[in-house]
């Protein structure tokens, strides 16, 4: 995916989000659950989302970049070998959650 | 990982999270005293053990395999086509696991007992567990290939698990000029659906250089196959007249194999090979059946959200051995399942409900060293359902013959080897 970008994962962040949310904080837990959306992205983009070889880093992307790039892939507006197939598997609200998890910042 | 995000989630409050600046995660007693055992040192087993350790370093994890090393199937077609050495498929197990603080043990699993949960090894050891994760790979249904059997595979290799890639490569290299390689491709489901066709492609690349009048015949138990359009277009372009695919619709089922004559008898005709590669129909690795985890299909029946067996609680099965909704059986899929299974196991140890995983399979096939094609699927759950479905899928179009994808395929191959065995 030389021509491409996003899809996700940042396990250190992810650890915090998914596993160490306090039991007494259901809202946080709900948020954390959404981060399991980005788990499989590590298969190409690396366990820390730092990218690898032809696969770009994800952890430096801003949330709005994640969403706009993935939408462009899905709509065929951005050329790609593979990412258009993957982007088609996520809805817009899911992309927002993924961007949020990935960047470590809530999407404005 | 930023402070703002943690504050946003409230993780730094309540004492559970020590400090935003402290990189050591909190220690959960339930994880610290958990007994997690992984059986199988392949892509599923190694990745789930590593993922648990990465997410919960305090959780003790033991990995058991029959051997000190693992011979991978991923990349074996490169060996068969003469692009890589047989030795390169051998992966050492103890040292990478030790580096991750995972206990490695050589052992042969005999059975499991319940209440309390115990794993019994052939040497008499009994290991208590809270969660057992199996990734036993595949086994062959030799009973469905009359005339063939495990003992004959020393002459007629399957080269679809274990260490037979070198043998098949040797036979191909020594085949007479103008001879015929026959590959028999099995019925679905089986490990690496595009595998037989990638194998034909890479052997054709070898023949083009060294045995230009040779032929490759694929006798298929199916009437269509993975990445068919792209493979067919690539064969027409790079290996015209060399590879012939014979569909189930043309020749029907295999009747039997005459091993001494290297001849395959199909329903209508027989085909004599100079080199014969019988890839048998498949089922879950022996351990699945032995522990009572398989259903009538021969594969392990699991809940695709947690990978927990529907037959035995606290036992999870991932990788090729399990039926995970519509996901194909591949190293990529096994790795994705391994990460999601690690989360499911940790959630259960903490007494928390499962998180819905979103799974991806992405699989490359080489046409030659410069060209590769791929197929991709994203899998998730219908709202309110426990059924895993395909959310999107796609493959390399036949017009794009994959120069860019070859570089990506190489990059991915290096990455998964590093993530799994590094």
Place of tokens 């790079």: B238
CB of A69 within 8 A of CB of A63? Answer: no
CB of B166 within 8 A of CB of B72? Answer: no
Among B25, B375, B390, B415, pick the best mutation site for testing chain A contact (most A Cβ within 10 A). B415
pLDDT of the residue at A60: 83
Asked if A60 reaches chain B (Cβ–Cβ under 8 Å), the answer is: no
Chain A residues whose beta carbon lies within 8 Å of the beta carbon of residue B359: 40
Chain A residues whose beta carbon lies within 8 Å of the beta carbon of residue B306: none
pLDDT of the residue at A49: 86
Please tell me the CATH superfamily of domain A11-103, with its number: Cytochrome c-like domain (1.10.760.10)
3-state helix, strand, coil in chain A (%, to 5): 55, 0, 45
Contact check, Cβ <8 Å, A43/B332:
yes
Among B50, B360, B395, pick the best mutation site for testing chain A contact (most A Cβ within 10 A). B360
Chain A residues whose beta carbon lies within 8 Å of the beta carbon of residue B412: 43-44, 53, 55
Chain A residues whose beta carbon lies within 8 Å of the beta carbon of residue B391: 88-90
Contact check, Cβ <8 Å, A40/B360:
yes
Nearest chain B CA: its distance from A78 CA (Å): 16
Contact check, Cβ <8 Å, A89/B16:
no
pLDDT of the residue at A108: 39
Residue A18 has pLDDT above 70, yes or no: no
Chain A residues whose beta carbon lies within 8 Å of the beta carbon of residue B393: 85
pLDDT in tens, B349-374: 999 999 899 999 999 999 999 999 99
The closest of B377, B335, B370 to A45, measured between CA atoms, is: B335
CB of A85 within 8 A of CB of A25? Answer: no
Asked if B360 reaches chain A (Cβ–Cβ under 8 Å), the answer is: yes
The span from the CA of B379 to the CA of B169, in Å, is 36
Place of tokens 């062959």: B140
Among B376, B382, B396, B420, pick the best mutation site for testing chain A contact (most A Cβ within 10 A). B376
pLDDT in tens, B214-237: 999 999 999 999 999 999 999 999
Nearest chain B CA: its distance from A77 CA (Å): 17
Q: B11: how many CB neighbours lie within 10 A of its CB?
A: 22
CB of B163 within 8 A of CB of B89? Answer: yes
The span from the CA of B398 to the CA of B235, in Å, is 11
pLDDT of the residue at A23: 35
Q: Quick one: closest CA in A to B19, which residue?
A: A16
The span from the CA of B380 to the CA of B386, in Å, is 9
Q: Which two tokens stand for residue A93?
A: 């609200």
pTM of the model: 0.90
pLDDT of the residue at B399: 83
β-strand partners of A55: A52
Report helix, strand or coil for B100: coil
Residues A37-54: what's their mean pLDDT? 90
pLDDT < 70 stretches in chain B: 1-26, 401
Contact check, Cβ <8 Å, A1/B5:
no
For chain A, which residues make up each domain, given as ranges?
Answer: 11-103
pLDDT of the residue at A32: 54
Backbone φ and ψ for B105, nearest 5 degrees, come out as -140, 135
Residue A64 has pLDDT above 80, yes or no: yes
β-strand partners of B90: B71
pLDDT of the residue at A15: 42
CB of A86 within 8 A of CB of A9? Answer: no
Q: Which two tokens stand for residue B230?
A: 């792209």
Nearest chain A CA: its distance from B339 CA (Å): 7
Contact check, Cβ <8 Å, A53/B410:
yes
CB of A17 within 8 A of CB of A31? Answer: yes
Among A19, A52, A98, A105, pick the best mutation site for testing chain B contact (most B Cβ within 10 A). A19
Asked if B7 reaches chain A (Cβ–Cβ under 8 Å), the answer is: no
Q: Quick one: closest CA in B to A100, which residue?
A: B5
Residue A107 has pLDDT above 60, yes or no: no
Residues A1-21: what's their mean pLDDT? 40
Nearest chain B CA: its distance from A94 CA (Å): 11
Confidence band, pLDDT 50/70/90 cuts, at residue A104: low
CB of B108 within 8 A of CB of B66? Answer: yes
Q: Chain A neighbours among B 199-228 (CB < 8 Å)?
A: none
**What are the structural domains of chain B?**
1-31 (no CATH), 33-66+107-137+285-355 (3.50.50.60), 144-282 (3.50.50.60)
Q: Report ipTM (2 d.p.).
A: 0.88
Nearest chain A CA: its distance from B162 CA (Å): 24
Helix spans in B81-227 (H)? 94-99, 165-173, 195-210
Nearest to B339 among A23, A40, A44 (CB): A40
């Amino acid at each position: 995916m030389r021509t491409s970008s996003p899809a996700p994962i940042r396990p250190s962040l992810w650890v915090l989000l998914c596993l160490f949310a306090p039991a007494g904080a259901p809202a946080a837990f709900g948020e954390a659950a959404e981060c399991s959306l980005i788990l499989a992205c590590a298969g190409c983009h690396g366990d820390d989302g730092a990218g690898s070889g032809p696969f770009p880093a994800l952890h430096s992307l801003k949330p709005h970049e994640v969403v706009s790039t993935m939408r462009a892939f899905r709509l065929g507006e951005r050329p790609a070998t593979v990412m258009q197939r993957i982007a088609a598997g996520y809805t817009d609200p899911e992309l927002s959650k993924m961007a949020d998890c990935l960047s470590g910042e809530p999407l404005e | 990982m930023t402070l703002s995000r943690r504050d946003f989630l409230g993780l730094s409050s309540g004492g559970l999270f020590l400090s935003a600046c402290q990189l050591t995660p909190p220690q959960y007693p339930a994880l610290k005293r958990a007994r997690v055992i992984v059986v199988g040192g392949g892509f599923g087993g190694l990745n789930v053990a590593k993922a648990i350790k990465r997410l919960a370093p305090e959780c003790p994890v033991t990995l058991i395999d029959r051997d000190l090393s693992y011979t991978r199937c991923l990349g074996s077609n490169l060996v068969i086509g003469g692009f890589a050495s047989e030795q390169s498929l051998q992966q050492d197990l103890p040292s990478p696991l030790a580096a991750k603080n995972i206990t490695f043990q050589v052992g042969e699993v005999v059975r499991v007992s319940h209440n309390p949960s115990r794993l019994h090894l052939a040497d008499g050891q009994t290991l208590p567990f809270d969660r057992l994760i199996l990734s036993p790979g595949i086994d062959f249904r030799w009973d469905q290939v009359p005339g063939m059997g495990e003992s004959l595979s020393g002459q007629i290799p399957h080269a679809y698990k274990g260490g037979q890639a070198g043998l098949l490569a040797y036979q191909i290299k020594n085949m007479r000029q103008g001879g015929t390689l026959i590959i028999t491709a099995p019925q679905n489901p089986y490990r690496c659906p595009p595998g037989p066709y990638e194998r034909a492609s890479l052997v054709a690349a070898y023949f083009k250089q060294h045995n230009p009048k040779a032929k490759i015949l694929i006798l298929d138990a199916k009437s269509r196959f993975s990445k068919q359009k792209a493979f067919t277009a690539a064969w027409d372009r790079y290996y015209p007249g060399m590879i012939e695919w014979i569909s189930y619709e043309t020749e029907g089922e295999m009747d039997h194999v005459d091993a001494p004559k290297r001849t395959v008898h199909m329903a209508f005709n027989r085909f004599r090979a100079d080199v014969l590669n019988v890839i048998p129909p498949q089922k879950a690795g022996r351990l699945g059946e032995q522990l009572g985890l398989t259903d009538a299909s021969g594969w392990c029946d699991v809940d695709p959200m947690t990978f927990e067996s529907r037959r035995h609680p606290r036992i999870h099965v991932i990788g090729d051995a399990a039926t995970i909704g519509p996901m194909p059986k591949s190293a990529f899929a096994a790795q994705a399942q391994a990460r999601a299974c690690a989360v499911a196991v940790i959630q259960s140890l903490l007494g928390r409900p499962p998180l819905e995983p979103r799974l991806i399979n992405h699989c490359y096939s080489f046409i030659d060293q410069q060209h590769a094609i791929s197929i991709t699927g994203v899998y998730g759950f219908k709202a309110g359902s426990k059924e895993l479905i395909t959310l999107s899928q796609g493959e390399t179009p036949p017009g794009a013959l994959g120069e860019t994808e070859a570089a990506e395929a190489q990059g991915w191959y290096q990455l998964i080897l590093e993530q799994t065995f590094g």
